[in-house]
Amino acid sequence: MKDRLNREIIAMRVAKELQDGDVVNLGIGIPSLCSQFIPEGKTVIYHSESGVLNYGPMAEEGFEDQDLINASGQFLAPVDGMSFFSSSDAFAMIRGGHIDVTVLGALQVSKSGDLANWMIPSRGIGNVGGAMDLAVGAKKVIVAMEHNDKNGSSKIVNECSFPLTSKSCVSLIVTDIAVIQVVKSGLQLLECAPGWTKEDVQNETEVELIFEKGIKEFTL
Amino acid sequence: MKDRLNREIIAMRVAKELQDGDVVNLGIGIPSLCSQFIPEGKTVIYHSESGVLNYGPMAEEGFEDQDLINASGQFLAPVDGMSFFSSSDAFAMIRGGHIDVTVLGALQVSKSGDLANWMIPSRGIGNVGGAMDLAVGAKKVIVAMEHNDKNGSSKIVNECSFPLTSKSCVSLIVTDIAVIQVVKSGLQLLECAPGWTKEDVQNETEVELIFEKGIKEFTL
Amino acid sequence: MNKVFNSFDEAVSDIPDNSTLMIDGFAGPGGTSQNLIAALRNLGSKNLTIISNTAGLASVIGFGTLPGQTPVDIGVLVENNQVKKVIASFPVSPSPSRPTAFEKAYAKHEVELELVPQGTLAERIRAGGAGIPAFFTPTGVDTRVSEGKEIREFNGKKYVLETALKADFALIRAYQSDRLGNLVYKGTSKNFNSVMVTAATISIVEVDKIVETGAIESALIDTPLLYVDRIVEIKENNER
Amino acid sequence: MNKVFNSFDEAVSDIPDNSTLMIDGFAGPGGTSQNLIAALRNLGSKNLTIISNTAGLASVIGFGTLPGQTPVDIGVLVENNQVKKVIASFPVSPSPSRPTAFEKAYAKHEVELELVPQGTLAERIRAGGAGIPAFFTPTGVDTRVSEGKEIREFNGKKYVLETALKADFALIRAYQSDRLGNLVYKGTSKNFNSVMVTAATISIVEVDKIVETGAIESALIDTPLLYVDRIVEIKENNER
């Protein structure tokens, strides 16, 4: 079997998409790793549903403060120009279109960019959290995830079988084997992981991908 | 002609209605005078649509600050425990039922407690300001006004002919000749100004008033 | 006009069975009114409807919890069979091997759930406090959470009609209060707290410290006094 | 990511004809972006729709104005024939003998008016910034301002459906900004300013002082940086 990219490399590839001045909300899991990989010279502003804007590094050991957390429950370090606000304001920012990019994990992404990331039907219950608001409100939704689930099934599907988070919301999918863009006619393969051909990626993917010239190797 | 009470006495009578701990919004004109007449020992908290809670006296001459005003444009003095907020928050307080009493002026009040106080039709244009929100949102609406207009016509009418501010919102009317309560069956006379009989008050009033025993002289 | 209560027990003593409560906090112990929750557990009121972001998470997975601490959260009310229904956005544990007390009770059909997206939850609570009975939001359209609700288009985009949430009581943690009830929260402990405090008939607030009026600078006041009914100071010998 | 502009003229230079603008302030000069208004007057853009609490009041009746001052307000835009329509709650002078420029133009049918109750105006602007396209409010039911609008009952009480307001540009006065755009307002100059800054595609802010990031304590920040696009410092030799 070919090597798949690790979580850090996926996050590094996503980080390349973030522009100077972007306001970004990172979901839990792989998305939360992106903040480590912002190139010097770029200013990216992080937002969290816990009611904070412009946070930076995590708190050092011994300096954790239970009143300074992000939406993943990680302890944040105080930073100049950081601000705090209510949940209604935090989501006014999200729903009102003031977040440039959100990076979310996914259980399934469909051919038309539908996102399912909040509930595994077999569990019978799930956590919506802020995902539906982010999926519908952020100007750009990037999914960062493993390409296949634990059983090897494609998480990129023709139609989501899991309960939806939001329809037609995903712009870009970055996985451990490929970078795929959601376009009007479907899913277009942009980049393959080193050592992977477009046919290899297609073999792991339920949706028939669009190949145009210029498919590149993963670039960081 | 019998003597009518002056604006200060009307305001003094209204002030008697305010309870310890009440959050109160005072309209412009006679209502704005009420704050001078709160008995010692009672704490009344003032709210203004300009985005301030718990204001006190006006600023002394030479200490006026254009960033510290009430909704009448008066300069306020800074006070301990005063807070400032947005207009959306100021009206969330009003509409959400967090203001105990508002005292408003009126052009007309009807038999069923309808209030008209924002537009004289002949002018063709008017200012709504915060009056509609206050009339509909405050727990108790007290009208403080002169009983008759400049032409001597009753401002207490069977049906408002002026554009409405809000229907069935007024609880109590305090004028320069009487105190009248809005009850289910109509308008009940509670008090008359010194020297005025209930018949005198009725003569100045378009609405047929309800007289029950215990009509008192104006009490302060 | 005295809002200061001497004990948590006294401050919650009149919460009857069948009440609807808003309980604060994002998910961790920071910003969660742990002392009031414990007092409500001791009081034992039954058939409660709880509106909260989670249904008790920190106590099972240690979300936002400093090492060595064991936070009190809604889980203790669920375990004590006081809860009839939870309205929340994040009711279950992200770790299936460490389920919340709520999940276990839910599996046994002992408690009901209304699942609400987090932004819709916050906005419904704000609406409750702001006299707005209902509003349209894009969140949840074409998903399970909008099933059975009115959908309407504005400018070519679909929105769902959501209604306000109000409560009989709110249990709120803040950092400081002055004697009038003006509140300050610390950092990210402002999130649900500063909204819930506006939407309950009676808001009960536990604070690290009650200070004299004027000790909190006007520009620092997060919640104006009119939203606060009862204040209890957390005594030094209390660990939470 | 540089938000700092060197002049008011430069900061407003791309406001085209037919724009919708939110212009700040309650009614007096405090909290009114007088320098940006003057720059927009100099620029001369036509057919503007202005969303504001008043239509220019301080310049005629001295509302909230210190002795000897002559405030600049929306009146100068109306007088310069730049305004097509005003959406406001308090458009006319309370003193009929001193009418506003707007009233005179309105009497000559040169300008349109949409009259909105002040709380509905604030909430419609908040909704615009918060991604809420419409909401129900009790304000204005059974009055002229709800004519032709949907009325619906919730729990036996009638409410009117009101829609969000958004703008292409907002002109905002604040006290301080840091270099990232975090704002602080002074006292009662937070009212419409802190709401309008959220509801425009481009928010332009004039401030008494631009300070280094970190000079404004986190707990004092009123408007988080993401709502602010352009900042101009009011120079000392400028009187407004």
Q: Using the Cα atoms of residue B212, residue B217, residue B218 and residue B219 in order, give the sign of their dihedral.
A: negative
Expressed as residue numbers, the domain containing C123 is 8-135+165-238
- % of chain D surpassing 90 pLDDT: 94
Mutate to test the interface with A, among C188, C195, C198, C240 (most CBs of A within 10 A): C188
Counting CB pairs under 8 A, whether chains D and C reach 3 or more, is: yes
Average of per-residue pLDDT across B122-136: 95
Secondary structure element (H or E) that encloses residue B200, with its range: helix B198-203
Are the beta carbons of C216 and B97 separated by less than 8 Å? no
What's the pLDDT score for residue A220? Answer: 81
Predicted-complex ipTM score:
0.97
Q: Does domain B7-217 have CATH number 3.40.1080.10?
A: yes
Residue D73 lies in a domain: yes
What's the pLDDT score for residue C53? Answer: 98
What's the pLDDT score for residue A213? Answer: 84
Answer yes or no: are the C-beta atoms of D125 and D196 closer than 8 Å: yes
What's the pLDDT score for residue B220? Answer: 81
Q: Is the pLDDT of residue C239 over 80?
A: no
User: How is C46-111 classified by DSSP, letter by letter?
Assistant: -SEEEE-SBSS-HHHH-TT--TT-----THHHHHTT-EEEEEESB-S-SSTTS--HHHHHHHTT-S
Instruction: Please state, in angstroms and rounded to a whole number, the distance separating the CA atoms of residues A6 and A103.
Output: 17
Chain D positions touching A85 (Cβ under 8 A) are 224
What's the pLDDT score for residue D145? Answer: 97
Nearest to A81 by CA among D212, C219, C175, C194: D212
Classify residue A212 by burial, with Cβ atoms within 10 Å: 0-12, 13-18, 19+: exposed
Amino acid at residue number A9: I
Chain A positions touching D226 (Cβ under 8 A) are 23, 45, 47, 53, 93, 98-99
What's the pLDDT score for residue C115? Answer: 98
What's the pLDDT score for residue B124? Answer: 87
Q: What angle do helix axes A87-95 and D118-130 make, rounded to 10 degrees? A: 70
- pLDDT tens for A178-198 read 999 999 999 999 999 999 999
Q: Is the pLDDT of residue D240 over 80?
A: no
Secondary-structure breakdown of chain D: helix, strand, coil percentages, each rounded to the nearest 5: 25, 30, 45
Answer yes or no: are the C-beta atoms of C130 and B92 closer than 8 Å: yes
C215: domain CATH number? Answer: 3.40.1080.10
pTM of the prediction? 0.98
Chain C positions touching D220 (Cβ under 8 A) are 219-220
Q: Is the pLDDT of residue D32 over 80?
A: yes
Residue C2 lies in a domain: no
* Both structure tokens of B184: 């289910």
Counting CB pairs under 8 A, whether chains A and B reach 3 or more, is: no
Nearest to D1 among A20, A91, A96 (CB): A20
- pLDDT tens for D62-73 read 999 999 999 999
User: How is B150-166 classified by DSSP, letter by letter?
Assistant: TTS-BSEESS--SPPSB
Amino acid at residue number C118: Q
What's the pLDDT score for residue B182? Answer: 98
Chain C positions touching A76 (Cβ under 8 A) are 188
Are the beta carbons of C154 and D163 separated by less than 8 Å? yes
What's the pLDDT score for residue C96? Answer: 87
Residue C145 lies in a domain: no
Number of domains chain D contains: 1
Out of B25-39, B42-56, B153-167, pick the least confident.
B25-39
CB of C195 within 8 Å of a chain A CB? The answer is yes
- pLDDT tens for D79-93 read 999 999 999 999 999
Q: Is the pLDDT of residue C120 over 60?
A: yes
Catalytic residues of B: 49
Phi-psi region of A158 (alpha: psi -120 to 50; beta: other; left: phi over 0): alpha
Counting CB pairs under 8 A, whether chains C and B reach 3 or more, is: yes
Q: Is the pLDDT of residue D237 over 70?
A: no
* Both structure tokens of B19: 């309870």
- pLDDT tens for B198-213 read 999 999 999 999 999 8
Instruction: Please state, in angstroms and rounded to a whole number, the distance separating the CA atoms of residues C71 and C90.
Output: 17
Give the domain ranges of chain B.
Answer: 7-217
Please give the sequence-ordered ranges of beta strands (E in DSSP) within B79-159, or none if there are none.
Answer: 83-84, 101-104, 108-110, 115-116, 140-144, 156-157
What's the pLDDT score for residue B214? Answer: 87
What's the pLDDT score for residue D236? Answer: 65
Mutate to test the interface with A, among D226, D229, D230 (most CBs of A within 10 A): D226
Chain B and chain C share a number of CB contacts under 8 A equal to 61
Sequence-ordered list of residues with C-beta below 8 angstroms from that of B10, at least 6 positions apart, any chain: B30, B33, B144, B145, B174, B175, B176
